[in-house]
Structure 1
Amino acid sequence: MDTTKVYSDLLAAYINPEIRIIALEGSTRSGKTWAALQLLNTIMYRTKKPRLISVVSETLPHLKRGCIRDHRDMLEADGMYDPNAWHDTDKIYRAGKGAMEFFGADSPGKVLGPARDILFVNECINISYDVCRHLMVRTKEKVILDYNPAFEFWVDSKIAPRADAVILHSTYLDNDKLTASQIAEIESNRDTDPEWWKVYGLGEKGSKQGLIIQNWDIVTDLPPRNTWKKAYIGLDWGWSVPSAIELVVLGEGGEVWIDEIGYAPNLDNPEIAKTIIAAGYKDLEIIADPAEPKSKAELRNFGLNVPDGIVKDIDLGIRVVNRYKKHYTSRSLGSIDENRKYRYKQDIDGNYTGAPVDAFNHAKDAERYVFLNRLSNISSGFDVTVGSAARK
């Protein structure tokens, strides 16, 4: 098993009998999550008594893309993965007397369910303290948390002051497994996006100030289709960066639901068309980036409705977006991630300029095309500035 400094620091804290809670705070790519899973896998395989480890993140889709995939990759790399040990329905892996279960913090039955021996909460900054407290009081031994410190939250006020807790800080420089190109990509943000660099480069405390997308939450699923008032597909093309395909639904009460249909780089137009059709939305109007007339024409060849005359005003579009209460389905991982990172530029004095940083905005652009071109006047009978169905 090839380890890093983060793993060594974590192991030292774990074997310290005076420490119960270990918080791994730091930059992107510092190896926090990987180190935690390495330690937990070692415990699972070597335990001499029955021991249950719970790995929790905000939603199951988030876990599938992150910890569950990392867990499998790690064991396969060491020649230890046994497909018969993985129970996909229950999301649990068993090895000897040890077991590791994975579940989302949005599952009340799991959060308030039976106890475990060890708890690992991945990206705990996205989970409320009340939920995490329920998990911790049902944990017999150790608690491990990890997060990028995007803003001050409950770890700072509830965990850091505890005598039985330790915060281990790390940055990408502590991960000697990164390639030169990965390091260069991280460091390319040093001058272009100071707030991003502060949090994800240096691993220092950031702020919610400057975040663009407001008035949103995460939900399990869309409302029943027979309650939809209007629905559209927002599309922003990418290649080396993700193409974003977002379903935007105006529901009862003047609120909006957003479901991510596709979010990936290297998608050509036939793949985009097939994604929309396979999702069952061939009949919906596709509000797409007006700067791509050839791509729009190609989508029309698949029988899709892609109108012209789309307005692209960024500032006005953002204002319309933020008038609505927005519900993002938990599987909309790319769009949710952008909500947490899409922010305004800062001047040399640290003041926000009102101009967005041109990054983490692929899904935001796709959604904005719909809001600006189809929802800016559609709810004229509603007061959407507060996201409610109050009649004017």
Structure 2
Amino acid sequence: MKSKKIYLPDIIGKGYKDYWNFKGRYKVCKGSRASKKSKTTALYYIYKMMEHPQSNLLVVRKVFRTLKDSCYSDLKWAINRLGVSEFWETKESPIEITYKPTGQKILFRGLDDPLKITSITVETGMLCWMWLEECYEITNEDSFNMLDESIRGQSPGNLFKQITLTMNPWNEKHWVKKRFFDAENDPDILAKTTNYKCNEFLDKADLKVFENMKKNNPRRYQVAGLGEWGIVDGLVYENWEEKEFDTDDISARKSVKSIFGLDFGYTNDPTALFCGLIDLEKKEIFVFDEIYKKALRNKMIYEEISKRGYSKEKITADSAEPKSIDELRDLGLRRIIGAAKGKDSINNGIQFIQGFKIYIHPRCVNFITEISNYTWDKDKFGNTVNKPIDEFNHLMDAFRYSIEEYISKARKGTLNSAPIWV
């Protein structure tokens, strides 16, 4: 086998020495955007698996389908960054990465199929490491405990068992804070906070984004810029719960209609599709699916929606982009329309939604993140004002668009008397 000499500090950069060298059970890193936490973790595991021929890695996110565009892509990037692509084999069906000289595996699983996690075995060595990416998505600590128990057995030689958790620090009430960051003097825990300032690979344009955020939105800067915990105070919606349900069973109710809304994004913000069911009689809303991706051109938006089987649904989209709506209609979304919006449409929509009980399927991780961080804004004196913050609102906006016709009928007093066509 050919050898290759590299100088790690040039490849990895600074700010993660303790993170890299820690061998305790739990290595936890919360960080701001562009803090290179995920990239560093990917580099770490590629390097360490080559160093330890008995090691194998399990990579987990709450929803399996989100792994391909996140951890899997980061690990492939790390292989190329280290210049060792000739030693690794990557495949996408199913997604898996193999270290060719020994047969060691990087396996990928989602918590939406827990049986596939508890039954994992490896042919070479032992499953000793786990990387749990975006662990803020896991709202139930018991789910983490189940994962924790899957990393067990005696480690041969100098091998060690470890679980790495990486996350954005959106919510100070998350169980990760109490369990790891509030723990005192536990040698088995490294809980670390990083931010963009330790990322020397950012250019001037990248840094300017954070400088503008610091000046124009200091509250957001504390979390998205400095990696501090988000303080969730004054939630817009408290009438919701995460719950598994059968979409077919709910949609079979005579009083249930489908609702779809679309909010456009591209470079900095994601394009967000909200998919739900509304029961006007029982005052219930069921959130069953979502699309949440950046850099989607209109054709890609159509392909994503069509792939999920929603191309024939009525979709109410952000009317600020009429050209995009027209193009999507030409591509095949025949029933897409622009939202009417209008004066006080945001608050009217919020007030209407607050009259319903909202059930969110666990796979809708981005919707859960947004709704659990969508709060009323504050003025410069810290007083709450009657408008929501201008963040965590991509799916929240799409949600409102999806029920716009019902909001309008409710304000006219015709919601229960007029026929409703969806």
TM-score category of the 2 structures, normalised to the smaller one: 0.7 to 0.9
5 Å-filtered alignment, 1:100-119, equals: 100-114=106-120, 116-119=127-130
Q: 1 CA distance for matches of 2:302 and 2:131?
A: 40
Identify the residue that residue 273 of structure 2 maps to in structure 1. 245
Match of 1:22, as an amino acid?
K
Q: 2:287 aligns with which of 245, 252, 257?
A: 257
Q: CA deviation at 1:264?
A: 4.0
Identify the residue that residue 37 of structure 1 maps to in structure 2. 42
5 Å-filtered alignment, 1:160-239, equals: 160-161=183-184, 162-214=186-238, 215-217=240-242, 222-223=247-248, 227=252, 229-238=256-265
Match of 2:402, as an amino acid?
V
Q: CA deviation at 1:314?
A: 0.2
User: Aligned pair count?
Assistant: 374
TM-score, normalization by structure 1 = 0.80
Change in CA separation of 1:295 and 1:40 when aligned onto 2, cut-off 3 Å: closer
5 Å-filtered alignment, 1:21-100, equals: 21-48=26-53, 50-81=54-85, 85-95=89-99, 96-100=102-106
Q: Cα deviation per residue 1:23-72 (whole Å; 9 max; x = unaligned)?
A: 21322221112112211111212213x22211222211232221111111
Q: Cα deviation per residue 1:45-102 (whole Å; 9 max; x = unaligned)?
A: 2213x22211222211232221111111221343433698335445332212532212
SS at match of 1:85: strand
Residue 304, structure 1, aligned to residue 309, structure 2: no
Q: 1 CA distance for matches of 2:352 and 2:37?
A: 38
Q: Cα deviation per residue 1:234-273 (whole Å; 9 max; x = unaligned)?
A: 23344554443333323696332242357444634x6656
Residue 285, structure 1, aligned to residue 314, structure 2: yes
Change in CA separation of 1:81 and 1:354 when aligned onto 2, cut-off 3 Å: farther
Q: CA deviation at 1:315?
A: 0.8
8 A Cα contact 2:89 2:97, kept in partner: yes
Match of 2:388, as an amino acid?
P
SS at match of 1:348: coil
Q: 2 CA distance for matches of 1:12 and 1:309?
A: 53
Match of 2:350, as an amino acid?
I
Residue 368, structure 1, aligned to residue 400, structure 2: yes
Deviates more, 1:279-288 or 1:178-187: 279-288
Deviates more, 1:126-135 or 1:112-121: 112-121
Identify the residue that residue 177 of structure 2 maps to in structure 1. 156
SS at match of 2:75: helix
Deviates more, 1:5-14 or 1:238-247: 238-247
8 A Cα contact 2:63 2:110, kept in partner: yes
Q: Cα deviation per residue 1:81-134 (whole Å; 9 max; x = unaligned)?
A: 369833544533221253221212232214433573112222222223212122
Identify the residue that residue 314 of structure 1 maps to in structure 2. 346
Q: Cα deviation per residue 1:307-363 (whole Å; 9 max; x = unaligned)?
A: 678344101212223423132572x56545543554332223333323222234233
8 A Cα contact 2:271 2:291, kept in partner: no
8 A Cα contact 2:97 2:107, kept in partner: yes
Q: 2:131 aligns with which of 120, 134, 137?
A: 120
Q: 2 CA distance for matches of 1:92 and 1:275?
A: 23
8 A Cα contact 2:266 2:296, kept in partner: yes
Change in CA separation of 1:223 and 1:76 when aligned onto 2, cut-off 3 Å: farther
5 Å-filtered alignment, 1:369-384, equals: 369-374=401-406, 377=410
Query: RMSD value over aligned CA atoms?
Result: 3.5
Q: 1 CA distance for matches of 2:201 and 2:246?
A: 38
8 A Cα contact 2:406 2:415, kept in partner: no
Q: 2 CA distance for matches of 1:374 and 1:292?
A: 22
Q: 2 CA distance for matches of 1:103 and 1:129?
A: 18
Match of 1:101, as an amino acid?
L
Q: Cα deviation per residue 1:293-319 (whole Å; 9 max; x = unaligned)?
A: 566566666672356783441012122
User: Identity, % of aligned pairs?
Assistant: 24
SS at match of 1:205: coil
Match of 1:208, as an amino acid?
V
8 A Cα contact 1:222 1:257, kept in partner: no
Q: Which consecutive unaligned segments of at least 5 residues does structure 1 have?
A: 382-392
